[in-house]
Amino acid sequence: MGKDLAITCAAHGNDVLLHDHDPDVLEAADGEIRTLVRSYRIMSKGDSRWCTEIVSGRIRTTGYLAGVAGVDWVIESIAEDVAAKERVHRELREVCGDGPAIAVNTSCVSITRIAALAARPGAVIGMHFMNPAPLTECVELVRGHLTSDETTRRAEDFVGALGKRPVVVHDSPGFVSNRLSHLFMNEAAFLVQEGVAEPAQIDEIFTFGYGHKMGPLATADLIGLDTVVDSLQVLYDDMQDPKFRCCPLLKKMVDAGRVGRKSGQGFYSYGASP
């Protein structure tokens, strides 16, 4: 997702600094970004914004978080792990101070909780991009309890300049999108576990029956089953509602390393198997 967000911002004329603590990730980033841009150009039927050289040329990488201090926007997009996100935002408070606005790309984690760690809580907003970020039009903007009107306006303008449609909602576990979508994905996994239907049959009900672009299990594979499991845990912990209890099959697949597209195997096969 981090690379996809860098691509999205760069394709719309922004200079981007891509940070990761893992040097191996940064070393591989340029080649992966070029491959992704080429694929998005094909999927967009040759849209000129997806020019490999231009997009790649606007993205620099750094292993030092302090490098982001002078930017206009910080978009944090690490794993759906509350403790890990809190560590990153404590570091951002030290290196950024009261400088840039901070967007939290999360599907479930409380924006209010993250904003409490910032030097300027009012300058923190949820900016939930959906997969695949370069091609998906909707961005869910999440106002924390202290998010200012000015930050919300700036976020709407920024997202609009990326060719996206911002939808503003209030902070609540899972917000709107994942509070609904993760119930679909989790219940679909239960249907597979119980032998009610095969993954393709379940997804066909959604694509041919309801007109969705993707079924819940193909979506889970795209997101990553590990991320789905983490998000369900956040929802369960925050809501204390048994309807968010993670399907055992999802946990078993994650334990087996079958986490979807990125591993080559999930509910569907993508040409590799761990």
20 and 78 inside one domain: no
- Which residue range forms the structural domain that includes residue 211? 177-263
234 and 250 inside one domain: yes
163 and 183 inside one domain: no
88 and 168 inside one domain: yes
pLDDT tens sequence across 33-57: 999 999 999 998 878 889 999 999 9
pLDDT exceeds 70 at position 274: no
- Report pLDDT for 45: 85
Q: Are 154 and 123 in contact (CB under 8 A)?
A: no
Domain assignment of residue 273, yes or no? no
Domain assignment of residue 219, yes or no? yes
Q: Which of 76-80, 132-136, 206-210 has the highest mean pLDDT?
A: 206-210
- Report pLDDT for 272: 53
CATH number assigned to the domain comprising residue 226? 1.10.1040.10
Tell me what the mean pLDDT of segment 225-253 comes to.
Answer: 95
pLDDT tens sequence across 195-204: 999 999 999 9
Number of domains within the chain: 3
22 and 10 inside one domain: yes
pLDDT tens sequence across 119-177: 999 999 999 999 889 999 999 999 999 999 999 999 999 999 999 999 999 999 889 99
Q: Are 267 and 221 in contact (CB under 8 A)?
A: yes
Domain assignment of residue 35, yes or no? yes
CATH number assigned to the domain comprising residue 82? 3.40.50.720
Tell me what the mean pLDDT of segment 65-77 comes to.
Answer: 91
- Mean pLDDT computed over every residue of the chain: 94
98 or 206, greater pLDDT: 206
56 or 98, greater pLDDT: 56
Tell me what the mean pLDDT of segment 105-123 comes to.
Answer: 93
Helix (H, G, I), strand (E, B) or coil at 137: coil
- In this structure, the chain runs to a length of 274
Tell me the C-alpha to C-alpha distance, in Å, between residue 189 and each of 102, 131, 213, 221, 224.
Answer: 35, 20, 19, 11, 14
Domain assignment of residue 55, yes or no? yes
Domain assignment of residue 274, yes or no? no
pTM: 0.87
211 or 81, greater pLDDT: 211
Q: Which amino acid does the sequence have at 68?
A: V
- Report pLDDT for 107: 84
Angle at 216 between CA 212 and CA 218, to 5 degrees: 95
Q: What percent of the chain has pLDDT over 70?
A: 99
118 and 156 inside one domain: yes
Last residue of a domain, one of 16, 43, 63: 63
Instruction: Name the pairing type of β-strands 165-170 and 138-143.
Output: parallel
233 and 255 inside one domain: yes
- Report pLDDT for 194: 98
CA 65: distance to chain centroid? Answer: 20
47 and 80 inside one domain: no
Q: Which amino acid does the sequence have at 221?
A: D
Q: How far apart are CA 1 and CA 217, in angstroms?
A: 19
54 and 145 inside one domain: no
Tell me the C-alpha to C-alpha distance, in Å, between residue 185 and each of 180, 188, 189, 229.
Answer: 9, 5, 6, 10
Last residue of a domain, one of 30, 63, 96: 63
136 and 209 inside one domain: no
The pair of three-digit structure tokens given for residue 174, joined into one six-digit string: 């899972």
